[in-house]
Amino acid sequence: MTEKLQLRITGMDCADCALKLEKGVANLAGVEACQVNFTTAKMEVITAGADEAQVVKRIQNLGYNIAPPDEVYQPRTRRQQLVALLRQPRNTFTLIGAAFITAAFILEGLLPAGENFLFSSPAPLLLLAPALFFIGGLFGLYFPARAGWAAIRSGQGLDMNVLMCLAAVGAFAIGEYGEAATVIVLFSLGEALEGYTMERARDSIRSLTQLAPAEAIVLQPCIDCQGCRGRELPDGSGPYQSGPCPWCGLHEERVPVARLAVGDRILVKPSERIPMDGQVVSGQSAVNQAPITGESVPVEKSQGAEVFAGTINGDGVLEIEVTRLAADNTLSRLIHLVEEAQSQKTPTQRFVDKFARVYTPLVVVGAGLMAVLPPLLFGQPFFDPPFSPLVNGGGWGGVEHGWLYRALTMLVIACPCALVIATPVAVVSAIAAAARRGVLIKGGAYLEALGQVKVIAFDKTGTLTQGRPELVNLACIDRCCVEARQHDLMAECAHCDDMLALAAAVERYSTHPLARAVTAAAETRALPALAATGVKTLPGQGVQGQVGGRLVTIGSHTLLHDDDACLREFCGLVGNAEAHGQTTILVRENETLRGYLAVSDPPRHTSQTTVGVLRKTGVTHTVMLTGDNPTVAEAIGRQLDVDEVRAGLMPADKVSAIRELMAVHGDMVAMVGDGVNDAPALAAATVGIAMGAGGTAQALETADVALMADDLTQLPAAIRLGRRAVRTIRFNIWFALIIKAVFLLAAFFGVATLWMAVFADMGASLLVTLNGMRLLRQNDR
């Protein structure tokens, strides 16, 4: 029997740590699989015999620890984060050692010219000795050596700790005491700062948990009221003894949200955050949904409206019935999916990881050959020459250091830290920034794909349009009715009411948005609710059913078109409605055409602006895909300035359209839909983007990218963020590669020192980390 453990690791500073933990725990007897998410510092272990204590012990033996499972995240200021960083023993001793070395270098600068630092003057030597004790004895040897030995035992091989230990010990062996100490100090400082910056990136996700309050005001009935016991019950059934008190009513009690159950009623006061997903029972207020959906304008909420945990109540008081548990609300699902997304590697990251696995061993082998071959084959100095200034042409080719020293420098450069961390830090920052704007990107691969999108296909109904169609016109086949409609589109007609009642009876069994418009119009007119039987859907064409022994078919103009010459005026009305962007539905009773219903689903007021902004972000082609007829689709397309309109499409046709676009434009095609009806087309596109996913679990699960708000306003920002992320990742990788190449050449020619190599390696890691974290401050006006 297998068991899944989920642990949060503390002390992870770099991507090498995650690899070491994965291999070290996976080698433990009774462990089937282990996966570590470096960006969120979480480990998932599948065990088949090993218990949690064994796993925790192995983690501690590898030099890390785990956070308590019940630990509640508390936001920390930068000062608090720095204090926590300094409290770690390794970092405290590193700073002490750095202070001693800094003092030694300062005093060396005060020595008379020509004196040899470290040996000719006793003052810096005395200062350096304690530094070497603290750093070399405690940190320089113990911490990296322990971590390096753990890496070797776990099967990871030569990691950065092993390489740094070899370089430091080698420098000490050849008498470069100052550089040995400097290597360890810079390495430890770099590790500490890298860990600090990664903790800040992790906090950007953990801070999402603070959006919802930890407590809620629950409305509880007075139970077993002592003050009213013995009082005659209102229904006269006897005296009150126990249970809910019928006189006291509800009282307020502040409880942890974990204690709330579905069906509980909570009270949210003005300006408070809503603690749970629920439905408004009473009250009215404007709710700021920006933390979840990214909507900039507060949304009015009244009885029956849905609200989300983490959103901010306005000036009114709301009484809400809880509809989801704390662990299953929209905010919790969002956080869970964001953490999962951050664990998925991008194609670029997978390539870099493979490259790093080859790069490090090659450089180590190259360093070994460089230390041995020139002295053996060309008689060059193995150790540093006693006097070899560049101006005097000392050393081989006028360079300063011997080949062993150059090889040690190459060992430092062999660390692939900056290269490995270049992608994940940018991905985690971009996904966190998107989540804050109400955009859920399901993984780094989709982030990269989003940044390369050139073509976007939109579904029409509910995406570019409001998705709330209304009946705006109807006419029966009767000639008098047709003539009347030319003057008054909604003139009363008994035949039209009968036709509408028949249509509503069948459409009640349909979930299509147009069906809701028909049934709502019948209810508004107070028409009789007829019963329909044998209702079946005609895919992509309409719906059909029996109403009072009559076969009623409801469908498109194409499905029910009649070429009878006497219907030309009627067809003219249908054509006129479609030319104005209205969708027409024809109604047939048995084999007789009864008339048409015209439904309008106007475009969203943000759709045209969004399409225009997308062009400015680099989208070269926009397409509207719809099952509506071409006349209506072209009218809507002209209003929104869409480049191409494809109409009359069934779900399979939309998939074919996406594949055709990808054949022409390559893997740079995104599809935007509602995440449910357009699932096949979303899956076929390079990136599937679901809109209005705030309350739809299916959309959150199925889409590659989910817009939590029910509009498109955040789509351009998501595209722009993807493009920035791609540029940042490419810059980070090329920057790391160039730094490595420069210092490899410098080491070969003997002009690079050990401390310069460490400074460049750790400095590059910090720079790419900080550059990636700039994506957290994405700002789109």
List C-alpha distances in Å: 70 to 66, 67, 206, 216, 401.
Answer: 12, 9, 14, 19, 55
Cα–Cα distance between 100 and 118 in angstroms, integer?
A: 13
Cα–Cα distance between 742 and 736 in angstroms, integer?
A: 10
Cα–Cα distance between 316 and 301 in angstroms, integer?
A: 10
Cα–Cα distance between 103 and 127 in angstroms, integer?
A: 7
Cα–Cα distance between 17 and 380 in angstroms, integer?
A: 39
- Which residues does residue 471 pair with via DSSP β-bridges, in sequence order? 599
Long-range contacts from 578-584, C-beta under 8 angstroms, 24+ separation: 578/629, 578/631, 578/632, 578/635, 579/631, 579/635, 580/635, 581/632, 581/635, 581/636, 581/639, 582/472, 582/473, 582/632, 583/469, 583/514, 583/628, 583/629, 583/632, 584/556, 584/557, 584/629, 584/632
Q: In 609-748, which ranges are E strands?
A: 621-625, 644-646, 669-673, 687-691, 705-707
Cα–Cα distance between 309 and 208 in angstroms, integer?
A: 11
Q: Tell me the H-state helices in 692-714.
A: 697-702
Task: Give me the DSSP letters along 194-212.
Answer: HHHHHHHHHHHHHGGGGGS
Cα–Cα distance between 414 and 403 in angstroms, integer?
A: 16
Cα–Cα distance between 566 and 558 in angstroms, integer?
A: 18
- Which residues does residue 266 pair with via DSSP β-bridges, in sequence order? 218, 320
Cβ proximity of 439 and 708 under 8 Å: yes
The residue type found at 667 is D
- Give the active site residues: 459
Cα–Cα distance between 3 and 46 in angstroms, integer?
A: 6
Tell how far CA 327 is from the center of its chain: 19
Helix (H, G, I), strand (E, B) or coil at 555: strand
Angle CA(594)–CA(597)–CA(600) in degrees, nearest 5? Answer: 170
Helix (H) or strand (E) holding 679: helix 679-684
Cα–Cα distance between 134 and 375 in angstroms, integer?
A: 35
Residue 273 sits at φ, ψ, to 5 deg, of -80, 140
Task: Give me the DSSP letters along 370-412.
Answer: HHHHHHHHH---SSPPSS--GGGTTTGGG--S-HHHHHHHHHH
Tell how far CA 204 is from the center of its chain: 11
